[in-house]
Amino acid sequence: MHTDKRNFVSVFLFLIIYFFSTDTIAAPKYSSFSLDAISGEILHNNRGFQTRYPASLTKVMTLYLIFEDLEDGKIQKSDLVVFSRNASSMPASKLGLAAGETITLSNAIKALAIKSANDVATAVAEHLSGTEESFATRMTNKARELGMYQTSFRNASGLHNNYQKTTAFDMAILGLRILKDFPDESRIFSQKEFIFEGKTYRSHNKLLFSYPGTKGMKTGFTNMSGFNLISYVTTENKKIISVVMGGSSSTSRNSNMVKVLNKSIKIAKYEIPFPKSNPFIEQK
């Protein structure tokens, strides 16, 4: 009996030591951050510089690089993206195309922004860079170029990886830059649904349907990250980018986002000409 108790205690202590020694992030608590998209001024910061798992917010960077290659003429929206066995094996959320099947790049963009399809993210990464690993390296390099110094990518979808990390601040910067650098392409984030092969896919971003002035952008969730959201809102001649990470549910995340947006709108400045150079980020 005593031996059983000692064994139980030993196993319990081992699990505690193992848990705290592995490269993981603590259980999610809300992290939130908000920027004035016109001036670059910080409007709200609650643990915005704490490291988090991005989940499908990762796909905003995937889309950024797609838009960049489109602008540079390296790819066309009519291009066919072929699904490898690796891409087709990705878990949901997904479109479910089999290995060898294809999707136009135009539909791939919609599937990433609206459906948040993991299989499409991998297929596009392989299409652009040969392997998803190579594409993830490019993603991280672009993050550094944009000033996202606490962000590291390991895949194109946001599926969990202990080494794929970011902050609410970095995600706000990404949201700001994709809007500024690709204003026309970024309109895809405001699209509420798209049809592919006869099936209608609706956006996971419920604020598009409920919060006035919402123009996107992206939701995200894994068990390790909690519920994440980047929002872009234009109202009262103001432009706001807000990020909430680590929600315990989509409902509580959305509720917290509404509070952050309401606060940010109250204190944001009225619209002035957007600077051509990168906005100065005033940290308070």
The residues that are catalytic are 56, 59, 116
Convert the pLDDT of each residue in 147-191 to its tens digit: 999 999 999 999 999 999 999 999 999 999 999 999 999 999 999
- Domain presence at residue 5: no
- Domain presence at residue 282: no
What are the structure tokens assigned to 232, written together? 């872009």
Q: Residue 237 maps to which CATH number?
A: 3.40.710.10
* Residue 36, strand partner residues: 240
> 201, 35, 237: which is closest to 111 by C-alpha?
201
Strand (E) or helix (H) holding 117: none
- CA 98 to CA 96: how far, in whole Å? 6
- Domain presence at residue 224: yes
What's the domain count of the chain?
A: 1
- Domain presence at residue 3: no
Beta carbons of 105 and 75 less than 8 angstroms apart: yes
pLDDT-derived band at 284, boundaries 50, 70, 90:
very low
Range of the domain at 63: 26-267
- CA 158 to CA 155: how far, in whole Å? 6
- Domain presence at residue 14: no
Say which residue, 202 or 284, is predicted with more confidence: 202
- Domain presence at residue 273: no
- What pTM, to 2 d.p., does this model score? 0.86
